[in-house]
Chain A
Amino acid sequence: MTGTVVTITSGKGGVGKTTAVANIAVALASEGQKVVCIDGDIGLRNLDVIMGLENRIVYDIVDVVEGRCRTRQAMIRDKRLPELFLIPAAQTRDKNAVSPSDMVRLCDELRGEVDWILIDSPAGIERGFRNAVAPADRVLIVTNPEMSAVRDADRVIGLLEAEEKPAPSLIINRLNPSMVRRGDMLSVDDVYDLLRIDVIGIVPEDENVIVASNRGTPLALDGKSKAGQAFRNIARRLNGEQVPFIDLESQSLWDRLARLAGRK
């Protein structure tokens, strides 16, 4: 087995990296692939609660790196998907407890055991970001259709180009289709035109994301929500499948009826 290391990063904080990692992981694992997620946000761990695994943590990534446990012992098995694992971040240490070469070593070990290694990068462009991208075979950049998120994404893309990392792909998260139609939100085309990197996913703003995080069950697990479907599509595209994008921006039937009725 030669697992692929996929790092999810963004520059700006709070754009949906952790949400994306949890959902893409769940989607890959429910297609029968073996997946391990690494929470790279040392000191601000979150992936454990989004995945609903916070009560099972014994060892964390710093324990692995400092040799207090074997890698296996720090891999928490998911409650629902037996092929999904999490290596949590340490909560009481800082980012310097792990180095980029520690991450490369850890991922080289994991590559032999799983199909996918997903790394949840912290925001920013400092040590935590460096750690997260060091072992990456692929980098996914999450952004929102909004000024500062797009600007910070561009900065990160520039840094990756300068380091001659493989070309990153873009996830546009929290797209609000009716704001786009009104001309009050950057569209997918606008964001693509500004950043000019391959778009691998478009995820709508969806309140189910918060409901799912309340429950600790990533929404890509259930069949219905649009955001869940969008994350499952990203997983399939990572796998090399050609999957058409869900049409979010054109008018819904409801919008058209409302317009006909003179309400908009």
Chain B
Amino acid sequence: MGFFERLTGKKSARSAKERLQLVLIHDRTDLTPTALDTLKDDLIAVISRHVEIDPANVRIDLTREGREQRLVADIPLRPTTRRRAN
């Protein structure tokens, strides 16, 4: 076992693949992790104006299908406390 392998418990080809997966997503979309965080905050602000959400559990992910990138948002809604007027 090599030095780095012992350190990380991972073969170097695995690290290469995982690192490339992230690098390629950002190369393809021009979205840096920081930009993604900002986007998330903006999204939370906009959606909160219309419906009550649980901001701590909002998830925004970039996923790939083939060469297509997709922004997937998972936004849990808070159960409404108001009683609906009949």
Footprint of B on A, CB under 8 Å?
146-147, 150-151, 154-155, 157-158, 161, 180, 182-187, 190, 193-197
Task: State the main secondary structure of chain A at its contact with B.
Answer: helix
**Chain B residues closer than 8 Å to A195, beta-carbon distance:** 67
How many chain B residues have a CB neighbour from A under 8 Å?
A: 15
**Would you call A183 and B19 a contact (CB within 8 A)?**
no
**Would you call A151 and B23 a contact (CB within 8 A)?**
yes
**Would you call B13 and A186 a contact (CB within 8 A)?**
yes
**Chain A residues closer than 8 Å to B23, beta-carbon distance:** 151
**Would you call A147 and B19 a contact (CB within 8 A)?**
yes
**Would you call B24 and A184 a contact (CB within 8 A)?**
no
**Would you call A183 and B24 a contact (CB within 8 A)?**
no
**Would you call A194 and B28 a contact (CB within 8 A)?**
no
The verdict on A158 contacting B66 (CB below 8 Å), with A147-B20, A185-B13 known, is no
Closest to A151 in B: B23
The verdict on A147 contacting B67 (CB below 8 Å), with A155-B27, A184-B11 known, is no
Within the complex, the shortest CB–CB distance from B15 to chain A, in Å, comes to 10
Closest to B24 in A: A154
**Would you call A190 and B67 a contact (CB within 8 A)?**
no
CA distance A244 to B14 in the complex (A): 27
- Flag whether B49 is at the interface (Cβ < 8 A): no
Within the complex, the shortest CB–CB distance from B80 to chain A, in Å, comes to 43
Within the complex, the shortest CB–CB distance from A58 to chain B, in Å, comes to 43
**Would you call B13 and A180 a contact (CB within 8 A)?**
yes
**Would you call B20 and A150 a contact (CB within 8 A)?**
yes
**Would you call A183 and B11 a contact (CB within 8 A)?**
yes
**Chain B residues closer than 8 Å to A184, beta-carbon distance:** 11-13
